[in-house]
Amino acid sequence: MNLPDIILITGTDTGVGKTITTAALAAALMAAGRSVAVYKPCQSGAATGDLDTGEIVRLAGAVTAEAGVVLQEPLAPVAAAAVDGAPLPRLAVHAGRVRELASSHDHVLVEGAGGLLVELDPDGGTLADLGSLLAAAFVLVARPALGTLNHTALTLEALAARDLRVLGLVLGSWPSAPEFVHRSNRDVLGSLPAPFLGAIPERASELSPARFRAESAAWLNGLPA
Ligand SMILES: Nc1ncnc2c1ncn2[C@@H]1O[C@H](COP(=O)(O)OP(=O)(O)OP(=O)(O)O)[C@@H](O)[C@H]1O
Ligand SMILES: [Mg+2]
Instruction: Locate the ligand 1 atom nearest the alpha carbon of residue 40 and give its number.
Output: 27
Instruction: From the candidates 8, 25, 27, 40, give the one annotated as an active-site residue.
Output: 40
Give tens-digit pLDDT for 18-68. Answer: 999 999 999 999 999 999 999 999 999 999 988 999 999 999 998 999 999
pLDDT band at 108 (very low <50, low <70, confident <90, very high): very high
Give tens-digit pLDDT for 66-91. Answer: 999 999 999 999 999 999 999 999 99
Ligand 1 pocket, residue 89 CB under 6 Å = no
Top-confidence residue, 51 or 196: 196
Give tens-digit pLDDT for 146-181. Answer: 999 999 999 999 999 999 999 999 999 999 999 999
pLDDT for res 70: 96
Kindly state the average pLDDT of the residues 195-209: 97
Ligand 1 pocket, residue 63 CB under 6 Å = no
Please tell me the number of the ligand nearest to residue 172's CA: 1
In the chain, where the domains are located: 6-219
| Dihedral over alpha carbons 70, 73, 76, 81 (to 10 degrees) | -60
The hierarchical CATH code for the domain 6-219 is 3.40.50.300
pLDDT for res 50: 81
Q: What is the whole-number distance in angstroms between the Cα of residue 110 and the centre of ligand 2? A: 11
pLDDT for res 62: 87
Q: Does residue 6 have a pLDDT over 90?
A: yes
Instruction: Locate the ligand 1 atom nearest the alpha carbon of residue 115 and give its number.
Output: 25
Q: Does residue 1 have a pLDDT over 80?
A: no
User: For this structure, is 18 an active site residue?
Assistant: no
pLDDT for res 224: 87
- Nearest-CA residue for ligand 1 atom 23 is 15
Residue of 42, 14, 53, 40 lying closest to 120 (CA atoms)? 42
Q: Is 104 exposed, middle or buried (0-12, 13-18, 19+ CB in 10 A)?
A: exposed
**Average pLDDT score over the chain:** 96
Give tens-digit pLDDT for 113-128. Answer: 999 999 999 999 999 9
Q: What angle is formed at CA 59 by the lines to CA 79 and CA 64, rounded to 5 degrees?
A: 70
